Amino acid sequence: GAVVSQHPSRVICKSGTSVKIECRSLDFQATTMFWYRQFPKQSLMLMATSNEGSKATYEQGVEKDKFLINHASLTLSTLTVTSAHPEDSSFYICSARVDSNSYNEQFFGPGTRLTVL
């Protein structure tokens, strides 16, 4: 099956710094990737849809200036949490849609756990 990787898997940073998380599709091209956020013991909430070569589409309530998304190539999307604060601590998961797949399936990365001190 299609494989999606994320880097780093864990990151701890100080309040006020910026953190970049990478999401890569390893064996397929993805014009569309998605970023989710998961709080402890809760479900995934879609933050934004990342489209290669264009601006990301953010869900209501998600600050686009806070969570910068760049989809620079067909295999890479990045999420930058700018001026991170403790309330940004969460598990961030990306997914990628297989463009040729007709079953409406997304493949998920292993997640990145962000802790802001």
Residues that bind another protein (CB under 8 A): 1, 6, 32, 34, 41-44, 46, 49, 93, 95, 97, 101, 103-111, 113
Are the C-beta atoms of 59 and 73 separated by less than 8 Å? no
Q: Looking up tokens 């890479």, which residue turns up? A: 76
Question: CB 85 → another protein: shortest distance, Å?
Answer: 23
Shortest distance (Å) from residue 23 CB to another protein: 11
Residue closer to another protein by CB (options 51, 70) is: 51
- Residue corresponding to tokens 């403790």: 86
Q: Report the alpha-carbon distance of residue 18 to residue 45 in Å, rounded.
A: 21
CA distance 99 to 30: 6
Residue 65 or 102: the one with the smaller Cβ distance to another protein is 102
